[in-house]
A and B are shown apart, each in its own frame.
Chain A
Amino acid sequence: MRILVLAEHHDGVLAGTTAHVVAAAKAIGGDIDVLVAGENVAAIAEAAAKLDGVSRVRVADHAAYAHLLAEPTAALLNALAGDYTHLLAAASTTGKNVLPRVAALKDVAQISEIIAVESPDTFKRPIYAGNAIATVQSEDALKVITVRTTAFDAVAEGGSAAVEAVDLSFTKGADNTQSTFLKEELAKSDRPELSAARVVISGGRGMGSGENFKLLDGIANKLGAAIGASRAAVDAGFVPNDMQVGQTGKIVAPELYIAVGISGAIQHLAGMKDSKVIVAINKDEEAPIFQVADYGLVADLFEALPELESKL
Chain B
Amino acid sequence: MKVLVAVKRVIDYNVKIRVKPDHSDVDLTNVKMAMNPFCEIAVEEAVRLKERGVASEVVAVTVGPKAAQEQLRTALALGADRAIHVETDERVESLGAAKALAKLVEEEQPGLVILGKQAIDTDNNQTGQMLAALTGLPQGTFASEVKVEGEKLQVTREIDGGLQTIELSLPAIVTTDLRLNEPRYAKLPDIMKAKKKPLDVKTPADLGVEVASKVKLLKVEPPAERQGGVKVGSVDELVDKLKNEAKVL
Task: Kindly state whether residue A304 has any CB partner on chain B within 8 Å.
Answer: yes
Task: Kindly state whether residue B188 has any CB partner on chain A within 8 Å.
Answer: no
- Give Cα A95–Cα B17 distance, bound, in whole angstroms: 28
- Closest Cβ of chain A to B188, distance in Å, is 27
Q: Which of B13, B163, B246 contacts A294 (CB 8 A)?
A: B246
Task: Kindly state whether residue B196 has any CB partner on chain A within 8 Å.
Answer: no
With A131-B16, A291-B228, A298-B231 in contact, is A139–B214 under 8 Å at CB? yes
Q: Which of B98, B121, B130, B229 contacts A278 (CB 8 A)?
A: B229
Q: Which of B98, B125, B229 contacts A295 (CB 8 A)?
A: B229
The 4 closest A-B pairs by CB, nearest first: A100-B129, A104-B133, A104-B130, A294-B229
Contacts A/B (CB < 8 Å), 26 sampled: A70-B129, A70-B138, A70-B141, A71-B139, A92-B160, A96-B142, A99-B129, A100-B133, A102-B133, A107-B95, A109-B215, A127-B122, A129-B123, A131-B223, A132-B221, A132-B223, A139-B216, A178-B169, A179-B139, A181-B164, A255-B248, A256-B249, A278-B229, A294-B246, A296-B231, A308-B238
Q: Are A178 and B138 in contact (CB under 8 A)?
A: yes
Give B198-249 interface residues, CB cut-off 8 Å to A.
213-223, 226-232, 234-236, 238-239, 241-242, 246, 248-249
Using CB atoms and an 8 Å cutoff, list the residues of chain B in contact with chain A.
Answer: 11, 13-14, 16-17, 19, 26, 93-95, 98, 120-134, 137-139, 141-142, 144, 154, 157-169, 177-179, 213-223, 226-232, 234-236, 238-239, 241-242, 246, 248-249
- Give Cα A103–Cα B126 distance, bound, in whole angstroms: 9
Task: Kindly state whether residue A138 has any CB partner on chain B within 8 Å.
Answer: yes
With A109-B95, A296-B231, A312-B249 in contact, is A184–B17 under 8 Å at CB? no
- Closest Cβ of chain B to A172, distance in Å, is 11
Interface of A is mostly: mixed
**Residues of A contacting B241 with CB < 8 Å?**
295
Report the stretch among A20-28, A43-51, A110-118 that lies at the interface: A110-118
Q: Are A138 and B215 in contact (CB under 8 A)?
A: yes
Proximity string of chain A (136-166) to chain B, C-beta cutoff 8 Å, 1 when within and 0 when not? 1111100000000000000000000000000
Q: Are A311 and B236 in contact (CB under 8 A)?
A: yes
- Give Cα A277–Cα B167 distance, bound, in whole angstroms: 43
Q: Are A100 and B218 in contact (CB under 8 A)?
A: no
With A247-B123, A290-B231 in contact, is A132–B222 under 8 Å at CB? yes
- Give Cα A61–Cα B203 distance, bound, in whole angstroms: 45
What residue of chain A has the Cβ atom nearest to residue B179's Cβ? A241
**Residues of A contacting B138 with CB < 8 Å?**
70-71, 178-179
Q: Are A307 and B246 in contact (CB under 8 A)?
A: no
- Give Cα A171–Cα B166 distance, bound, in whole angstroms: 22
**Residues of B contacting A311 with CB < 8 Å?**
235-236, 239
Q: Number of contacts between A and B (CB, 8 Å)?
A: 243
A97-B139, A131-B222, A296-B232 given; name 15 further pairs at CB < 8 Å. A67-B164, A70-B141, A100-B133, A112-B125, A129-B120, A132-B220, A133-B220, A185-B162, A242-B160, A256-B242, A291-B226, A294-B246, A295-B229, A295-B242, A311-B236
- Give Cα A79–Cα B14 distance, bound, in whole angstroms: 43
**Residues of A contacting B125 with CB < 8 Å?**
96, 100, 112
Task: Kindly state whether residue A223 has any CB partner on chain B within 8 Å.
Answer: yes
**Residues of A contacting B167 with CB < 8 Å?**
179-180, 182
Task: Kindly state whether residue A135 has any CB partner on chain B within 8 Å.
Answer: yes
Q: Are B239 and A312 in contact (CB under 8 A)?
A: yes
- Closest Cβ of chain A to B114, distance in Å, is 16
Q: How many residues of A contact B (CB 8 A)?
A: 87
With A74-B133, A104-B134, A109-B213 in contact, is A128–B232 under 8 Å at CB? no
- Give Cα A101–Cα B139 distance, bound, in whole angstroms: 9
- Closest Cβ of chain A to B157, distance in Å, is 8
**Residues of B contacting A71 with CB < 8 Å?**
138-139
With A126-B223, A132-B222, A178-B137 in contact, is A104–B246 under 8 Å at CB? no
With A93-B159, A128-B121 in contact, is A184–B164 under 8 Å at CB? yes
Name which of A70, A100, A133 has the most chain B CB atoms within 10 A of its CB.
Answer: A100
**Residues of B contacting A278 with CB < 8 Å?**
226, 229
Proximity string of chain A (264-305) to chain B, C-beta cutoff 8 Å, 1 when within and 0 when not? 001100000100111100000000001111111111000010
- Closest Cβ of chain B to A189, distance in Å, is 9
- Give Cα A206–Cα B80 distance, bound, in whole angstroms: 38
- Closest Cβ of chain A to B134, distance in Å, is 5
- Give Cα A268–Cα B13 distance, bound, in whole angstroms: 12
**Residues of B contacting A215 with CB < 8 Å?**
none
**Residues of B contacting A131 with CB < 8 Å?**
16-17, 222-223
**Residues of B contacting A182 with CB < 8 Å?**
154, 165-167
- Closest Cβ of chain B to A62, distance in Å, is 18
Q: Which of B95, B162, B169, B220 contacts A184 (CB 8 A)?
A: B162
What residue of chain B has the Cβ atom nearest to residue A98's Cβ? B129
With A96-B141, A185-B162, A255-B248 in contact, is A103–B95 under 8 Å at CB? yes
